[in-house]
Amino acid sequence: MLRHDLATSFLALAVACGIVLVPFSETESSQAGKRPSFERGVVQVGDEAPNFMLRDLHGNMKSLSQLKGKVVLLNFWATWCGPCRVEMPAMEQLYQTFPRREFEILAVSTDSQGAAVTRPFQKQMGFTFPILHDSEYQTGLVYGARTLPITFMVDRQGVVRQKIFGARDWASPEARELVQALMKS
C-alpha cells in the first residue's frame, strides 16, 4: 500500500508539473553484445533480457523465452500511472501495425490488485496486446524498473537493445522505424 501511496503522490507531482513525452532520441541504445545483467543488478542495454513467467488476463502463464525470434516491446506500467495511460493507445496502434509472427508487446502491470483492475481497464480501452501481472513486483525489480512507464526493446535474439524511460508516442514514424530496424537485425 505504501508503494501505491508514494506512486500516487509522485503522479500528482508529475501532473502538476506537466507530463512530457520524451523523444526517442533520448533513450539508451547500444549495439553491444550480450553482457550478464547480474553484474550491475539491473538490466542494461546489451544485456540478455532475463526470462520470466507471469500470468496474463486469462490466467495463462506467459514467458519471455516463448517469444524468442520476435522483436518484443516489454513495457512496465500501472493503471494508476498517468503517463502509462497516455502512451497505451499508441502502443495498441503499434501492435496492430506488425504481424504477431515478428513482433509482440508484453505490457507488465505492476498493480498489486492484478486482473481486478487491469481487466476492466483493458476492456474499457479496447487493448488487444497481452497484459501480464507482476503484482509482487519481482520481475520489475529484476529489470530495475524503478519508474513507470519504462520500456525495454528486445531483439529477436533476446538482447535488450533499448531501455526507454517515460511515455512515448508509439504510433510515431520513429517508433515504427525502431521496430523495423530490430526486425532486420
Q: What are the pLDDT digits (tens) for 125-166?
A: 999 999 999 999 999 999 999 999 999 999 999 999 999 999
| Dist. CA 154–CA 45, nearest whole Å | 9
pTM for the complete prediction? 0.80
User: Which three cell numbers, joined as nine digits, stand for 158?
Assistant: 533476446
Domain residue ranges in the chain: 21-184
Instruction: Give me the CATH topology for the region 21-184.
Output: Glutaredoxin (3.40.30)
By CB atoms closer than 10 A (0-12, 13-18, 19+), residue 148 is buried
Looking up cell 553482457, which residue turns up?
A: 35
Phi-psi domain of 65 (left: phi exceeds 0; alpha: psi -120 through 50; beta: other):
alpha
Q: Are β-strands 131-133 and 103-109 bridged in parallel, bridged antiparallel, or unpaired?
A: parallel
Instruction: Name the residue with higher pLDDT: 40 or 180.
Output: 180
Task: Look up residue 2 and give its amino acid.
Answer: L
> What is the band of 41 on the pLDDT scale with cuts at 50, 70, 90?
low
Element (H, E) at 36: none
Tell me the sheet residues that pair with 48. Answer: 159
Contact 110, 79 (CB under 8 A): no
Q: 54-88, pLDDT tens digit by residue?
A: 999 999 999 999 999 999 999 999 999 999 999 99
Tens digit of each residue's pLDDT (9 = 90 or more) over 63-72: 999 999 999 9
pLDDT of 40 higher than 60: no
Q: Are 164 and 75 in contact (CB under 8 A)?
A: no
Q: Is 83 helix (H, G, I), strand (E, B) or coil?
A: helix
Over residues 24-50, the mean pLDDT reads 61
pLDDT surpassing 50 at residue 8: no
Quick count: other Cβ atoms within 10 Å of Cβ 154?
A: 26
